[in-house]
Chains A and B, each alone.
Chain A
Amino acid sequence: MAGVTYGTIYAIVAIGFNIIYNATGIINFAQGEFVMLGGMTAVTLNRFLPLPLAILSAVVVTSIVGAIIEIVFIRWLRKPSVLRMVIITIGISILIRETALHIWGESVRALPYFTGSSVTSIQLAGVYISPQVLWVVGVGALAVAGLTAFFNLTMLGRQMRACSASRDAARLCGINAGNMVTLSFVLSAAIGAIGGCVVCPITYVQYDSGTPLAIKGFTVAILGGLGNSTAAVGAGMILGILESFSIWVLPTAYKEAISIAILLVILFVKPSGLFGSAEAARLKEF
């Protein structure tokens, strides 16, 4: 079950990558920091707010941070090179991480379990699982369903898709492409923050827990094919389960090295991802 829990959170991070990648063609290396920020803010707010309200405010705060980042650092750049964007988003991730370090210190924090406690378990088809795992999986599924509905059914979602398909054509139709990019950062920050909140009772959160998540989320995004959010869920499960099995064979300390090794192998062998087509990948600009 640990594999599924981690798999879901990786998938959530991967979806965050995909939203921004689809809208801008940028890989946002600060994606993991949104997850950390969501968890941290929720833990702090939970001291004087009830849990649901704390989580809601944390998601709002993180979304605002996402919007600020886009407006301050990204919006006014004219046709930046990929290398430049990579370095800028890495710089942003360092900035967020160091700010978090100075606000919250190095201590490890966690939210309380949403229902029950760390020892309660529910029997489901003969297996005992923690209710928090159900929360993680449930929220993950809701997020994917919600996003799919948003992109396919609402006007705003369709406008965003139009921008990612052809920014110039979308602009000719009267869509404000700049605002769509800001919206993509807000959405992806919000998704990250939600993920950070539901998973932090189990995995805990610390100022530097963002970077490993970002790398694994990226692995999953690549595994599923960049830009494909439904495939990212499947890929997230694959990585999560592979990772939890790797503990049986190798020491826990190498767990992270395993998933990165998987990433490298995919990049070398099939950069279009398991579910992506090589044809489409060739057209994308990396």
Chain B
Amino acid sequence: MARRYSMVVAFAALIVAIQLATRFTDSSYHLTQLTMTAYYSLLIVGLCMLIGYAGQISIGHAGFFAIGGYVSAFLTTHNLAPRRGGGFVSLLSKSGALVARPDAFGGDLLHVHPWLACAAAILLTVVIAYVVGGPVLKLKGHYLAMATLGFGIIVYRMALGTEFLGAADGISDVPGFPLLSGLVVTGNSSLRVSNYYLAWGLVILGMVLLLNLIHSRVGRALEAVHGAEDAAGAMGIPTARYKLNTFVLSAVFASLAGVLLTHYNGGIGPSEASVMKSVRYVAIVAIGGMANLWGSLMMSLVLNYLSLRGYFGTFDDTVFGIILLLIMLFAPDGLLRRHILSDLKGLVSPRSAGEEAP
């Protein structure tokens, strides 16, 4: 228990240290990419839970990310002013669910409030995840991989081919998301530091949630499902339900990441739903050690940041493809294995080697 939280504290200290480092080296522009990295990391840890702990691969998680982002972007930019007289719109307006703001030409725009849009996005994600996940998770191996890949491509094609979602251009001019008074998710550079802490704070919150889940009855059940599904079923574990709930949970993480990143960037495009994005997330989880939340989180921090800063240039996708290949060829259990810490400790003091790493 203490070790679990000492890692959380260490990670929080790392986040603070990075911010202070950018402050003293006068390079706070790095924080923008680091904040975006945080939202991608939120998706990654959720996916890590699904792949590493429940043992179910998904090559379609960019789809859930895009569903969250697009629903939120559409609702907060779609102008309801022309339909102000309609019954439903006026009901929403009276209950305070709509916000008015002036447009560039002095006219007024009426949008759904980001909180409501966010709730709608998450709700839709949960529904879709249950509907898709139910049948999909009955499949195994190749079929599961192909089915989730297919789901991702359907979302991508829908985003690309739908007129009111901006087709190839996506949706832009998405307003900020006022979470609390003074705390707005937006790309505005004056709020850069608070957004950085907000984003990573959410990641840490998500981590605490997942860590507790792993060390609970559910986590142990998932580990049994991963190890030997039939045996787990025979022990009375409702394997299908646990797999499905983990799938939905990871979809919600992805969708929430999509909502917040869309508000932060002020827009979303169809490339966020592309297959390459989904493959990249799987690559990061793989290199992080599959069943290793901290490993995936650290790899996500490093690789997403490097990628967003453009260090890989035109070889961006190639880098992730090569990483994926090398990991799967030479270290299929992942680079940062879950027991690597205890392995290392075993070298130093053999007595404590049996202890489980966090």
Known: A27-B142, A94-B320, A211-B275. A254 touches B161 (CB 8 A): yes
Indicate which residue in B146, B157, B315 contacts A218 across the interface (CB closer than 8 Å).
B146
Indicate which residue in B136, B275, B322 contacts A95 across the interface (CB closer than 8 Å).
B322
Interface membership of A56, Cβ < 8 A: no
Q: Are A254 and B157 in contact (CB under 8 A)?
A: yes
A-B contact count (CB 8 A): 110
Known: A83-B141, A95-B322, A271-B143. A264 touches B150 (CB 8 A): yes
Closest A-chain residue to B286, C-beta based? A87
Interface membership of B120, Cβ < 8 A: no
> Which of A27, A87, A264 has the most B CB atoms < 10 Å from its CB?
A87
Interface membership of A268, Cβ < 8 A: yes
Q: How many angstroms between the C-alpha atoms of A61 and B350 in the bound complex?
A: 55
Q: How many angstroms between the C-alpha atoms of A30 and B50 in the bound complex?
A: 25
Indicate which residue in A77, A80, A92, A260 contacts B325 across the interface (CB closer than 8 Å).
A92
Closest A-chain residue to B278, C-beta based? A90
Q: How many angstroms between the C-alpha atoms of A99 and B146 in the bound complex?
A: 23
On chain B, the residues within 8 Å of A84 by CB distance are 328, 332
Q: Are A251 and B317 in contact (CB under 8 A)?
A: no
- Chain A residues close to B by CB (< 8 Å): 27, 29, 73, 77, 80-84, 86-88, 90-92, 94-95, 97-99, 102, 211-212, 215, 218, 222, 251, 253-254, 256-257, 260-261, 263-264, 267-268, 271, 285-286
Known: A86-B141, A88-B329, A286-B141. A263 touches B146 (CB 8 A): yes
- Chain B residues close to A by CB (< 8 Å): 57, 59, 135-136, 138-143, 145-147, 149-151, 153-154, 157-158, 160-162, 167, 275-276, 279, 282, 286, 314-315, 317-318, 320-322, 324-325, 328-329, 332
Indicate which residue in A80, A94, A285 contacts B317 across the interface (CB closer than 8 Å).
A94
Q: Are B146 and A267 in contact (CB under 8 A)?
A: yes
Q: How many angstroms between the C-alpha atoms of A264 and B328 in the bound complex?
A: 27
Smallest CB separation, B173 vs chain A (Å): 23
A-B contact pairs, 30 of them (CB 8 A): A27-B146, A77-B329, A83-B145, A84-B328, A84-B332, A86-B141, A86-B145, A90-B59, A90-B145, A90-B324, A91-B328, A94-B276, A94-B279, A94-B320, A215-B149, A215-B150, A251-B161, A253-B157, A253-B161, A254-B158, A256-B153, A257-B157, A257-B161, A261-B154, A263-B147, A267-B135, A267-B139, A268-B138, A271-B139, A271-B143
